[in-house]
Structure formats: structure tokens, C-alpha cells
Copies of this chain bind each other. A is one copy, B any other.
Amino acid sequence: MSGVVKNANPSFLNGVPELLILQLLAQQERYGYDLIKAIQARTQAQLSFGEGCIYPHLHHLEEAKLLASSRRRVEGRDRVYYRLTARGRKRLAALARDWDRVATGVSLVLGGQHA
């Protein structure tokens, strides 16, 4: 096609899906489609990620033993439920620290007028 432009790599979102997935699964078991809706709901629609972002993450995180899954039929729906493993909890802690580092650094510069 001509004129097809993809707005790839939006600012500041790198790594955020993984962080949110781990954090949300740390609180309760969820399936992919639900995670996508949960991210929109919990962030008050400030953030939203597509299926092409979330599903590959879930597969990769499970392969890395950070998540474990079980395919089940619930409410008349076939779903793949994911839950956090012990390793996943460690990664979440590390990622949360990374986020704090970056957020702190940015704040120091952005809000640094009155410092």
C-alpha cells in the first residue's frame, strides 16, 4: 500500500505493558483479553495496549517461567488464565525499581525549576 504509516514506538511506553501485566497478575489471575480491558480500566484510559502487544508478552513471559497458564472454560468461554510465579514476582520487583529510577530522574529534570 502507499501512505501506510505506522506510529511505532510511542514515547515512554517501552516496558510498560510488561510492568502492568506483572503487577495486575500479582493481584489476581487473569486471561489476556481481560488484561487488556483491565489496563484500560485501572489506568482510567490513560493507557491502552493492543492484543498484538499483550499476547506475545504473555507467551514470552510464560516461556521465561515468570508466568504459568491454565486453559479453562469459564462462563461458557475458552480462556487462558495466567498467574504470577515466584520468578515473576522477582521480575516485577526489579521492573518496579527500574520504573522508579526513570520516573525519579525525569521528575528531577522536569520539576527541577524549584529545586
Q: Spell out A's residues near B (CB within 8 Å).
A: 9-16, 18-20, 23-24, 39, 42-44, 46-47, 95-96, 98-99, 101-106, 108-110, 112
Contacts and interface: CB of A to CB of B under 8 A. Distances in A.
A16 B12 contact: yes
How many copies of the chain does the oligomer comprise?
2
6 contacts: A11-B16, A12-B16, A16-B102, A19-B106, A43-B105, A46-B108
User: A15, A20, A24, A109: which has the most chain B beta carbons within 10 Å?
Assistant: A109
Given A102-B16, A103-B103, A109 B11 contact: no
A13 B109 contact: no
A108 B19 CA distance: 12
